[in-house]
């Protein structure tokens, strides 16, 4: 069934089709529509779930953790300050190995108040132990929400589905909404291996001393590593059912490219247009879209980028005092590529606080990258008043 829906509602549909059992959420722009629609679905009976209207994002995550610990499928959504408030419990969910799925509508942090898109909220949670997916279209948002549950429950790690404020959240696109039966077959009801159970009582989360803490951390890391292959398998299964596949990373017109753009989220769509135009003009320009940020697809990126002359990373985020976060991660990933094959990496900081990243901006980035011998600095701020 095709419907023209906004990105936020694509999330709602994804959660509904996943038959999420407990939703706990708190309103924040521009996420609010996700949970509004879910609360309506709970109210009208189209979704059999408990909707808990908590008093804060912190409690939203806490309630999800509690419900997940009791063995059910749980979901929440937030943005920006709300995600920041949850921070403590993001660790708790991940170390407790609770497969919570959360949508984060990327929004800048204040002050001053800014409700527009910016990846700093989700990237600030890089080290909390959550799998992170960045989405380009509303279809991808819906599919990733469903895939997210499947992956989360396969490796017992929480998954964050990230979409851009307004560019996706409030933009209507045609979306193929799969049948419930199809999703049910793909994603059966959650059966937790560990859960609160009066028939088999255990304590969860008790003090762990130094003699065991590292082993538990290592197993978290191993689960992250398994997520690479697990996601491939899950996508294959989904592809067989729907014909759609996204990949942890996607190469677009990379063949013979001398310059590859590296993008995430909706900037990718704009960049595709620019790449098409430049290819039509005969330029050897391509594109790599990074969908999975955690676990970081290091090997895949190395394979795709080795031997390419130049790489331009577009970061709608900044790690103050360092640089764009995708760029820095990529720099680190490419360090082990032999020097002869190692591309020169240009890190561009763009579009913070919702500033438009237009084809013109991307064109300037391509031109600048091609023109320069080496980047003048690690973080190249584009389109800002000097």
Q: Can residue 218 be called a binding residue for another protein (CB under 8 A)?
A: yes
Choice from 67, 224, 327, 366 touching another protein (CB under 8 A): 67
Question: What is the DSSP code string of 294-361?
Answer: ES--HHHHHHHHTT-SEEEEEES---TTS--HHHHHHHHHHTTS-TTTPPEEEEEE--GGG----HHH
Strand partners, 161: 103, 133
Burial 49-76 (b: 16+ CB within 10 A, else e): bebbebeebbbbbbbbbbbbbebbbbbb
The whole-angstrom separation of Cα 32 and Cα 79 is 9
- The contact pattern for another protein, residues 147-176, with x = CB under 8 A and - = no contact, is -------xxx--------------------
As measured in angstroms, the least distance from the Cβ of 201 to another protein is 4
Judged by CB under 8 A, the stretch of 53-61, 165-173, 234-242, 347-355 that binds another protein is: 53-61
Residues 262-321 that bind another protein (CB under 8 A): none
- Please give the C-alpha separations between residue 341 and each of 269, 276, 317, 365, in angstroms, as whole numbers: 28, 25, 27, 22
Q: Can residue 194 be called a binding residue for another protein (CB under 8 A)?
A: yes
| Residue tagged 């309506």 (tokens) | 40
Q: Can residue 18 be called a binding residue for another protein (CB under 8 A)?
A: no
Strand partners, 196: none
As measured in angstroms, the least distance from the Cβ of 19 to another protein is 10
The token pair that represents 241 in the structure block: 């059912």
Residue 21 or 315: the one with the smaller Cβ distance to another protein is: 21
Q: Can residue 207 be called a binding residue for another protein (CB under 8 A)?
A: yes
Judged by CB under 8 A, the stretch of 16-24, 176-184, 317-325, 367-375 that binds another protein is: 16-24
| Backbone phi, psi, residue 312, to 5° | -115, 115
| Backbone phi, psi, residue 28, to 5° | -160, 135
Residues 222-261 that bind another protein (CB under 8 A): 222-223, 226
Q: Can residue 191 be called a binding residue for another protein (CB under 8 A)?
A: no
The whole-angstrom separation of Cα 47 and Cα 43 is 8
As measured in angstroms, the least distance from the Cβ of 101 to another protein is 14
As measured in angstroms, the least distance from the Cβ of 229 to another protein is 12
- The contact pattern for another protein, residues 79-108, with x = CB under 8 A and - = no contact, is ---------xx--x--xxx-----------
Specify burial of residue 325 (Cβ count, 10 A radius: 0-12, 13-18, 19+). Answer: buried
Interface contacts to another protein, rule CB under 8 A: 21-22, 24, 48-50, 52-56, 58-60, 62-72, 74, 88-89, 92, 95-97, 154-156, 193-194, 196-198, 201-209, 212, 215-216, 218-220, 222-223, 226
């Amino acid at each position: 069934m095709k419907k023209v829906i906004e990105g936020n509602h694509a999330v709602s549909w994804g959660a509904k089709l996943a038959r999420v059992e407990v939703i706990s959420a708190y309103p924040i722009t521009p996420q609010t529509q996700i949970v509004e629609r879910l609360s309506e679905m709970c109210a009208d009976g189209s979704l059999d779930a408990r909707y808990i209207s908590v008093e804060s994002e912190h409690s939203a995550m806490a309630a999800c953790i509690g419900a997940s610990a009791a063995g059910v499928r749980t979901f929440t959504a937030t943005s920006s300050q709300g995600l920041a408030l949850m921070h403590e419990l993001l660790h708790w969910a991940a170390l407790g190995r609770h497969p919570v799925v959360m949508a984060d509508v990327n929004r800048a942090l204040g002050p001053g108040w800014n409700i527009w898109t910016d990846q700093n909220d989700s990237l600030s949670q890089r080290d909390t132990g959550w799998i992170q997916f960045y989405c380009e279209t509303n279809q991808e948002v819906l599919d990733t929400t469903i895939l997210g549950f499947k992956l989360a429950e396969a490796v017992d790690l929480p998954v964050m589905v990230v979409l851009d404020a307004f560019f996706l959240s409030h933009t209507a696109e045609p979306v193929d909404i799969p049948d419930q039966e199809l999703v049910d077959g793909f994603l059966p009801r959650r059966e937790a291996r560990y859960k609160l159970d009066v028939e088999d009582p255990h304590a969860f989360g008790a003090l762990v001393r130094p003699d065991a803490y590292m082993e538990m951390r290592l197993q978290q890391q191993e689960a992250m590593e398994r997520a690479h292959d697990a996601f491939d398998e899950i996508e294959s299964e989904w592809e067989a059912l729907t014909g759609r596949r996204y990949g942890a990373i996607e190469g677009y017109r990379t063949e013979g490219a001398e310059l590859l753009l590296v993008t995430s989220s909706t900037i990718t769509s704009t960049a595709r247009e620019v790449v098409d135009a430049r290819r039509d003009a005969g330029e050897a320009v391509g594109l790599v879209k990074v969908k999975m940020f955690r676990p970081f697809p290091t090997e895949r990126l190395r394979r795709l980028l080795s031997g390419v002359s130049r790489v331009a990373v577009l970061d709608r985020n900044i790690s103050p005092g360092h640089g764009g976060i995708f760029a820095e991660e990529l720099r680190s990933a490419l360090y082990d590529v032999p020097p002869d094959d190692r591309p020169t990496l240009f890190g561009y900081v763009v579009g913070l606080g919702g500033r438009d990243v237009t084809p013109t901006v991307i064109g300037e980035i391509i031109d600048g990258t091609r023109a320069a011998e080496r980047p003048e600095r690690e973080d190249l701020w584009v389109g800002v008043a000097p």
